[in-house]
Amino acid sequence: MAGNLDDMFSNKNTCNWFKASIALIITKQELEKFVDSEIQKMHANVGRVCGNCFTENLIKCPTCGVCRNAKSCSFHNSPGLLPRPCPMKICDQVKQNIASHHRYSNPSWKNTRAELWATNHWEIAKCYLPPDGYTDVASVQGTDFNGVISILLNCTHFDTCFSFSNAPSSPYPECILTQVRQIGRDVRHTSSCQVADSDLKNIILKLKSLLTDPVSLANDPNASSAINTLRKLKNNTQFITPDELLDHLKDAQQILVKVNDQSERVSKEVDTVLLEIDTHMKQCLQQIDERENEARERISKEGKEVLAHIESHRLASAKMITEKENEVKQKALQTEKIAREVHQKAQEIEYTAHNVEIHAANVFQHTLTIDKKAQEIGNNIEIIEQKLNETKMTNNDLDIEGNTLT
């Protein structure tokens, strides 16, 4: 079912109406970023407010379009909300700047809260929205198609953003913005939920022509994707996921509920379409449920695989750690053994040194003994030499005697 919009409703023109309401949503989504960023630029240029002045303080009583009866005013309705100049003398100028950007010089003061002008740029944008029904809107996303196009038409900041004049005077035809605003109103205020083939073609053509305007939007990369979607919508190419379809169905449902609420008697056609929308929403929800279940199963399967992978990694790591531990233990044992050996060698060296010392002492003792012996020998030699000398002398004496005798 998803994407096949031509078979969704029993009436062909109701299919067209549904397509037209989708086309408006796509166009509005595309305009959001552009409008928001331009309003931010404008916000930076209108000046900063003090933050303590309320809109009521800045607006005279009475003011056209705001309040009429100065004696019992429902707008200026408490002592703190009476008109007065800004104590900082800045807010009045900001108010003037906002008014000077309004094409008809009548900003929707009732929509906006001046005390937020400094912090929220969209409070400034709200001055250019239609006067009723936008008080609680807080962002461009929360503003409807009619409101967004009204800002483009009413705020003169946007005059330089398009190739055409935003406010052509008669006899020139209405500009494209006014035309698409009317399309939005026609589609949303339908009492029959029907759009003829030729009208749908014209609607898509107008929206495309706005999104392809050469000055700003044609240069926006997102615009080309919106234009692509509009083309698919026209050609009924399958393109919508169940989630997107559900969103569009919800939106269509809201439009139609509002139509029924506002009209005096409930339209039969609208009721039939509401029933069909209800059936399709159920189908979408079922498809989304099925897809989510599939996704859940896939995630659970993938999760298990991941867990198994983690477990095998954990085991491998644990094994590696044990091996490393054993290696370290082995190394420690080896180191201890080497230390023991070193200690033993040191003891041996010490022992040898001790022996050498004893030996040296012995040698010394021995030397002393030898010295002593040598001394004794020396003495003996002296004695012998003395004896020899004595003997020689005796011999000489004998020789002399002998010679004398002879």
Q: Which residues make up the interface to Zn ion (CB under 5 A)?
A: 50, 53, 61, 67, 73, 75-76, 86, 91
Least Å distance between CB 84 and Zn ion? 9
- Closer residue to Zn ion (CB): 81 or 288: 81
Nearest Cα neighbor of 18 from 30, 29, 6 is 6
Torsion angle (degrees, nearest 10) of CA 141, 56, 115, 86 = 140
Least Å distance between CB 50 and Zn ion? 3
Least Å distance between CB 53 and Zn ion? 3
- Closer residue to Zn ion (CB): 54 or 239: 54
- Closer residue to Zn ion (CB): 86 or 176: 86
- Closer residue to Zn ion (CB): 88 or 315: 88
Least Å distance between CB 145 and Zn ion? 32
Least Å distance between CB 296 and Zn ion? 55
Nearest Cα neighbor of 218 from 209, 229, 228, 205 is 209
- Closer residue to Zn ion (CB): 10 or 119: 119
Torsion angle (degrees, nearest 10) of CA 171, 172, 173, 178 = -110
Written as six digits, the tokens of 310 are 């983690």
CA separation for the pair 309, 167 (Å, rounded): 67
- Closer residue to Zn ion (CB): 68 or 296: 68
CA separation for the pair 5, 23 (Å, rounded): 13
- C-beta separation of 189 from 256 below 8 A: no
- C-beta separation of 159 from 166 below 8 A: yes
Least Å distance between CB 87 and Zn ion? 6
Nearest Cα neighbor of 162 from 217, 104, 125, 103 is 217
Residue 361 phi, psi dihedral angles, 5° rounding: -60, -45
